[in-house]
Structure 1
């Protein structure tokens, strides 16, 4: 390259000399105008544009933190509230993916395509989980206005059939306006051993829990590093940093020292918690003095009705959850404080949303020690099993969630909890805005009705720019949210968000001018994972509508449906109109027929030896299906051990490996039981193929797709096609227990299925292709 540059320079020099040597008379022409080199100019942010930090916690109800009356001690959140302004009528959508879609676009979640979770798409525009290009994210809008952008933590807004190394990547964070992404794509993940992506590349676990790794701490460190690098390379541009923790969604993963600090703090139970939190909320002024405490829903047990053993376990569940919230507060506090010390930190605008919905009742009436997906397919999770794992709660060997009574308690003073979009227990979350020098009257709680779709319009209002008519050549639909900027300095600013519909799982409501009409669908949120059939078959026509005048009834305690039938009918018609406009109908569209990475009619699969880390959606469903796996061995293991094929991890899965020259199959049943089948004879010197075959028991449920429960059956070990051992196994395969753990050849990435060193180690020999046949 250097020689080429020298050569070009010499041509310029030669041309100048030759012009003198061979000059000829030339016609007189007008002198050309001077031409100056120019390059396209990058967009510039408005003068004084702030750096923006948008924080979103997960599954934290209105009354979780001490800043809003809860018992989890959150001094940093309290400090930010004292420095900035608090909102007590801020609303989410009642569940994860939809809240994030509305938050990041300023539109309603159905308009973006997220009428439901990313995990359960349906074939209608409002529910297909394909982010609509006419609803560009606030990150993309800020990019075209001169910002650098980054997202850290939970995403949960990419179609499941696009979450693999094959892409496409236009619905990943980096395809939707973020320059950089570091985090996980699923709705929940192990905080000790998460499954992370750096932009669009899957990366190994940064460290182990034994080494002190925890995801929230990692996210804070990576976010600070990004800001520091940004300052060095692009310090002339402001930044937008979206920080969405996995905390405090289940699993409630937190270090023992934090749990120890909460010992005995919840022994009086959830009914007492509600009463205490309610009193503190009035003292803090985060709810009106005349607010009423709503009663316990039918179906949730009174604390006084529980046995001593139940109280012992359930109190400990809340100790772990509170510890998780407290550790999260410390880490988020560290993030904010560190960014304040960096260049531009004096102009850092912080939006802090404490939860994307109400408290999570998916743990059922007793709580769980397996993840939500495993609970939904019949994982062993009895009360006795939870008691046996009492000292493991919070640690890497379980995936715990608390009993639904705590979800209700942490949603004080409202009715219901997460999922229930018809009532504020599902949708009401604290918002804090902290922007030094730009907020006033911090002691005055902001009471204007507001919604997650208000954040994007607020940011553009702060910058003094409008939503572009087109972005990337696509006409944009208007924002549904409204700017909160006037409330930053005026606690009595007029309410501008005067109407908002809600809908999740046919739980639906509409707010308008101080009134709410609400209809809860006929199922219990703590039974969702076990009563999916009821959810979709119960008629929505039978759902009873309620009416609340929240201008005078903050907590929705007094149902006025019988007293104000005309008002109720008026609002029901308004809901129908808004639902039609936003693509809400049909209610509860069945989640069937979505695209898949694996063709449903394909039965033969071949994987090269260098393929590893395939996500669960890139592997055919094996539960309930007879199948056979065989791997070609080019050269035997020199050390007589190592993984041949594995799928899953510490919390459930299977692995075929070599140990001391013997072929071994290990079935990990949701992290609770390990079943081992081993060949009695050493592998022959010239092995050609090794593998196993699984035959489900007669009478097992037929293959039912993604939610097929693990089944019992028989495994046969195969060497060169011959059976060398066989045995009975149970609840196979339990890979659903291990979140996004991958299918691996020659190693076991992520957390390990096996307890045996040989079942954890990379294979010592050389493997060829792996063949998978499923019936």
Structure 2
């Protein structure tokens, strides 16, 4: 037996395996909550987001990155790579309608990114918001969890966020020092430290911030930074943002600003159109300006906290070979009228005046931003979260990976992509094998960016609102309303309905949507989603 040759062969095999593991990128997926399309300054907004701007400058901005229009469905789509109805989360986690697409909990048939990457040697962690209906994310492929299992409720209450598995202990904070965005970042950094105990294994971190979801909560010093910024109102802000977006190349130079969007209140007993800012009373304008200032402060704070994570990656020498993707779960939230709500999600509104303004956003308060500002956050699109017009389903997308992206730094890409692409992307860059029983409808985002992609068809449904995106065409409809058809090569703002001009196109795309709906547990659409903010559908046959 030739021992030196045998040992040399073994050494080469070990070295090859070690090198292969080292070459696998770490993966960081960052999800904001209720962030509008134009809120980031690198997408035309006035909110200061230097960290995300830097990632955009060193990576790629995606101007047609789609979500599902709502929080639970988008999170299910991101983590499982499936359209949400296919895995039981066609609506929310609050109720089970007894139908496969609307069970209110992610299907055990689905595999999460953590479950797929595990066999490829990855360690997976979650810090932030889960919202997939199961009681313990560490039973869904993740080693460690810190955050909330449900929707964001409180940002100053440490008891709202939990640590799992059950034997783990969350960080403790001195009285008055807790803020959820900071705590989510603290625990994310703890998880990265834990991951580095096994340097031969790459990691996946899902960093799912609650911000800027209501309630509007932010530290006072952050609110003060924006206290005077929004006195000009939402009409002025929409104009300013659109001009910057055109100059950046986020939208085309001929993009028209949509009319102010409509709204419907909690329970759908009233509808209306967002009012002209100048028609509001001075007291109302001051109240609303403070709401938007708090919203901006939440985004600003999130960006600063993300900076701590980026600094940590750089210090560990991991930044260049970490695939980072940033997006939001849906467009900005209109709930439930132009003035926003207070106390709880409802039609209750308090007009804050004088000294009351200074207390807004503090512990114990509960406000939303309202539909007027949400419309501005989604500039220049129509509508908001809940809907599948562009304001509901188009989010800012940023991809950064110096070791893997071939496109020019700072590039702006206008090809459509979708949150369902993030699991196929993780599979492709990690070399993992997908052995799930459900085929994956998404594509490898890195391959698409580096080498171009083929024309694809994307589908949407939420609360009866439905859409198909096929090349430059989009077919879209409100619940119980006729289809509208738009040519996105000239009209992504959905202003010129061509459904009567091209009825044959409508028929073809509607047929495709019907087939998708049947195959993905979407249809028949429920008559009653069992939530107080929606009326049951009494017009269905």
Do both proteins adopt the same fold according to a TM-score greater than 0.5, normalized to the shorter chain? yes
> How far does residue 557 in structure 1 lie from its aligned partner after superposition?
2.5
Which of 498, 507, 512 pairs up with 1:560? 498
Cross-structure match for 1:135? 110
C-alpha distance after superposition, 1:471-522 (max 9, x if no partner): xxxxx111111111134435xx1345x111101110111111221111112x
C-alpha distance after superposition, 1:381-411 (max 9, x if no partner): 3434677742221111201111210111100
Q: Is residue 474 of structure 2 the alignment partner of residue 507 of structure 1?
A: no
Q: Contact between 1:196 and 1:204, CA under 8 Å: does it hold in 2?
A: no
Q: Contact between 1:88 and 1:431, CA under 8 Å: does it hold in 2?
A: yes
Q: Is residue 215 of structure 2 the alignment partner of residue 248 of structure 1?
A: no
- Corresponding residue pairs, total: 505
d(CA) in 1 for partners of 2:319 and 2:73? 31
Q: 1:591 to 1:387 in 2, by over 3 A?
A: farther
Q: Contact between 1:197 and 1:203, CA under 8 Å: does it hold in 2?
A: no
Cross-structure match for 1:494? 453
Which of 413, 429, 434 pairs up with 2:380? 413
> How far does residue 416 in structure 1 lie from its aligned partner after superposition?
0.3
> How far does residue 465 in structure 1 lie from its aligned partner after superposition?
4.0
SS of the aligned residue for 1:81 comes to: helix
d(CA) in 2 for partners of 1:209 and 1:370? 26
Q: 1:292 to 1:382 in 2, by over 3 A?
A: closer
Q: 1:370 to 1:176 in 2, by over 3 A?
A: same
d(CA) in 1 for partners of 2:442 and 2:65? 12
Cross-structure match for 2:127? 152
d(CA) in 2 for partners of 1:254 and 1:334? 18
Q: Contact between 2:163 and 2:170, CA under 8 Å: does it hold in 1?
A: no
d(CA) in 2 for partners of 1:342 and 1:273? 40
Cross-structure match for 2:528? 590
Q: Contact between 2:330 and 2:393, CA under 8 Å: does it hold in 1?
A: yes
TM-score, normalised relative to structure 1: 0.62
Q: Contact between 2:22 and 2:201, CA under 8 Å: does it hold in 1?
A: no
Q: Is residue 396 of structure 2 the alignment partner of residue 430 of structure 1?
A: yes
Q: Contact between 2:59 and 2:411, CA under 8 Å: does it hold in 1?
A: no
Cross-structure match for 1:25? none
Cross-structure match for 2:289? 315
- Counting only pairs closer than 5 Å after superposition, residues 184-223 of structure 1 correspond to structure 2 as 184-194=148-158, 195-201=160-166, 210-223=175-188
Q: 1:361 to 1:211 in 2, by over 3 A?
A: same
Which of 459, 462, 469 pairs up with 2:426? 459
Which of 23, 28, 50 pairs up with 1:53? 28
d(CA) in 2 for partners of 1:292 and 1:588? 36
Q: Contact between 1:94 and 1:420, CA under 8 Å: does it hold in 2?
A: yes
> How far does residue 129 in structure 1 lie from its aligned partner after superposition?
2.3
Higher Cα Rg: structure 1 or 2? 1
> How far does residue 261 in structure 1 lie from its aligned partner after superposition?
0.8
Q: 1:388 to 1:368 in 2, by over 3 A?
A: farther
Cross-structure match for 2:196? 231
Of the structure 1 ranges 250-259 and 294-303, higher mean CA displacement relative to structure 2 is found in 294-303
Q: Contact between 2:73 and 2:91, CA under 8 Å: does it hold in 1?
A: yes
SS of the aligned residue for 1:511 comes to: strand
> How far does residue 100 in structure 1 lie from its aligned partner after superposition?
0.4
- Counting only pairs closer than 5 Å after superposition, residues 25-424 of structure 1 correspond to structure 2 as 46=21, 48-159=23-134, 163=135, 172-194=136-158, 195-201=160-166, 210-232=175-197, 234-298=198-262, 299-353=273-327, 355-372=328-345, 375=346, 381-384=348-351, 389-421=356-388, 423-424=389-390
C-alpha distance after superposition, 1:561-600 (max 9, x if no partner): 12212211221222111111111112135346xxxxxxxx
Q: Is residue 487 of structure 2 the alignment partner of residue 549 of structure 1?
A: yes
> How far does residue 210 in structure 1 lie from its aligned partner after superposition?
4.8
> How far does residue 546 in structure 1 lie from its aligned partner after superposition?
0.6
Q: 1:589 to 1:206 in 2, by over 3 A?
A: farther
Q: 1:406 to 1:120 in 2, by over 3 A?
A: farther
d(CA) in 1 for partners of 2:354 and 2:163? 38
SS of the aligned residue for 1:503 comes to: strand
Cross-structure match for 1:484? 445
Report the structure, 1 or 2, having the larger strand content. 1
C-alpha distance after superposition, 1:355-405 (max 9, x if no partner): 210110114321123232xx27xxxx3434677742221111201111210
Q: CA RMSD in A?
A: 2.3
Q: 1:114 to 1:224 in 2, by over 3 A?
A: same
d(CA) in 1 for partners of 2:422 and 2:249? 23
Say which structure, 1 or 2, has more relative contact order (CA 8 Å, 6+ apart).
2
TM-score, normalised relative to structure 2: 0.88
C-alpha distance after superposition, 1:515-559 (max 9, x if no partner): 1111112xxxxxxxxxxxxxxxxxx3xx12110111332222321
- Counting only pairs closer than 5 Å after superposition, residues 653-672 of structure 1 correspond to structure 2 as none
Cross-structure match for 1:442? 409
> How far does residue 434 in structure 1 lie from its aligned partner after superposition?
0.9
**Structure 2 spans left out of the alignment, 5+ residues:** 1-13, 263-272, 534-541
Q: Contact between 2:144 and 2:165, CA under 8 Å: does it hold in 1?
A: no
Q: Contact between 1:365 and 1:403, CA under 8 Å: does it hold in 2?
A: yes
Cross-structure match for 1:572? 510
d(CA) in 2 for partners of 1:257 and 1:81? 27
Q: Contact between 1:293 and 1:557, CA under 8 Å: does it hold in 2?
A: no
Report the structure, 1 or 2, having the larger helix content. 2
